[in-house]
Amino acid sequence: MKKWYAVIGDPIAHSLSPFMHDLWMDEHGVDASYIPVHVKPARLKESFDALKTLGVGGFNITLPHKQAIVPFLDELDETAIIMDAVNTVTFDGQSYKGWNTDGDGFVRSLMTEQIALHEKVLIIGAGGAARGIAFALKRANFHDVSIANRTYQRAEELAAATGSEAITMQDAEKSLGDFRIIIQTTSVGLAEGEALPLSLDQIQPDSLVADIIYTPLETPFLKAAKEKGCRILNGVGMFVYQGAIAFEKWTGIRPDTEKMIHIITDKLGGNYVNR
Ligand code: ATR
């Protein structure tokens, strides 16, 4: 019988996941559909029960349900335990298991660039997104990772949990030239004209600067880094790879990610070649 998958969130209409998964299913000859489901927070439990009753094959979870879904799941993968948040649920016929593919999605995107594991990495921010990335970098064997955050204590806590170094924003600014890979995970500087989370004065032109955001495709932070001569990486790759990891868990098929990054970039009005 035809299988079906879903993404739940509030709001959900803007999600690009149905477009992406449907395309992959078509392309790889998977007889399945993927539908967006608008779920209000107060109805999360009953919506999950409905998905189960109707035979969902697996689903993604987006804001604001990533943490709220956790107590309802039968099992959690280590990635979900670390984050206390789930973006992907698989079903093996017996139990519904939660995973978090965001951090690994980011690292897979990063690995498409010309980088080496020994390079010095700076993560800016110590919130949920930074946590997923810091643990994923550790799993991928990056061994020189520093974390800078406005609230230094949060940087210290995340650094201690992941075997990284905590540094203050001021020290990160001063020593920015030492870092080859800089990852921006805060929501600061999202809007045009807003201040950047830290000054890029000391950055080296050959560094790789990544942002987890993909709308806009080029955040003010990435724009500033590009003007300094840095290579930049926006959040489209992270989005595509977090979905690709979920797709593979559901279907056993590794979907074509490179082509999808082009397609999503085009869809968002960008030009992949000139990114
Ligand atoms: P997410 O799950 O998207 O990472 P979060 O957990 O709320 O969201 O984390 C937001 C991150 O952005 C934090 O690192 C936060 O710094 P604090 O820990 O000091 O709050 C950072 N952030 C948010 N607003 C900021 C600002 N105006 N200046 C600097 N950092 C900011």
The tokens for 1 are 């019988």
- Give the H or E element holding residue 99: strand 96-99
| Amino acid found at 251 | T
| Amino acid found at 109 | S
CB under 8 Å to 157, separation ≥6 — which residues?
126
- Which band of pLDDT confidence, cut at 50, 70 and 90, is reported for residue 189? low
Binding positions for shikimate: 15-17, 62, 87, 102, 214, 242
The helix/strand/coil state of 251 is helix
pLDDT tens figures, 223-264: 999 999 999 999 999 999 999 999 999 999 999 999 999 999
Show which residues are catalytic. Answer: 66
Phi and psi torsions of 146, nearest 5°: -115, 150
Q: What rounded mean pLDDT belongs to the chain?
A: 95
Helices 152-162 + 128-139 axis angle, to 10: 30
pLDDT tens figures, 144-183: 999 999 999 999 999 999 999 999 999 999 999 999 999 9
Cβ–ligand 1 contact at 183 (below 6 Å)? no
Domain 3-100 fold: Rossmann fold (3.40.50)
The closest-lying atom of ligand 1 relative to the alpha carbon of residue 185 is 4
Q: What is the DSSP string of 27-78?
A: HTT--EEEEEEE--GGGHHHHHHHHHHTT--EEEE-TT-TTTTGGG-SEE-H
CA 124 – ligand 1 centroid, Å = 9
- Which band of pLDDT confidence, cut at 50, 70 and 90, is reported for residue 274? very low
CA 198 – ligand 1 centroid, Å = 13
Q: Which of 3.10.450.50, 3.40.50.720, 3.60.9.10, 3.40.390.10 would CATH assign to domain 104-234?
A: 3.40.50.720
Going by the DSSP 8-state scheme, the letter that residue 119 receives in this structure is S
The structural domains of the chain, with segments of one domain joined by +, span: 3-100, 104-234
Q: How many CB atoms lie within 10 A of CB 53?
A: 8
Burial class (CB in 10 A: 0-12, 13-18, 19+), 173: middle
3-state helix, strand, coil in the chain (%, to 5): 40, 20, 40
Answer left, alpha or beta for residue 174, where phi above 0 means left and psi between -120 and 50 means alpha: alpha
CB under 8 Å to 255, separation ≥6 — which residues?
24, 27, 28, 244, 247, 248
pLDDT tens figures, 21-72: 999 999 999 999 999 999 999 999 999 999 999 999 999 999 999 999 999 9
Q: How many CB atoms lie within 10 A of CB 149?
A: 26
Cβ–ligand 1 contact at 128 (below 6 Å)? yes
Helices 128-139 + 102-110 axis angle, to 10: 60
Return the pLDDT at 273: 54
CATH topology identical between 3-100 and 104-234: yes
Return the pLDDT at 194: 73
CA 129 – ligand 1 centroid, Å = 9
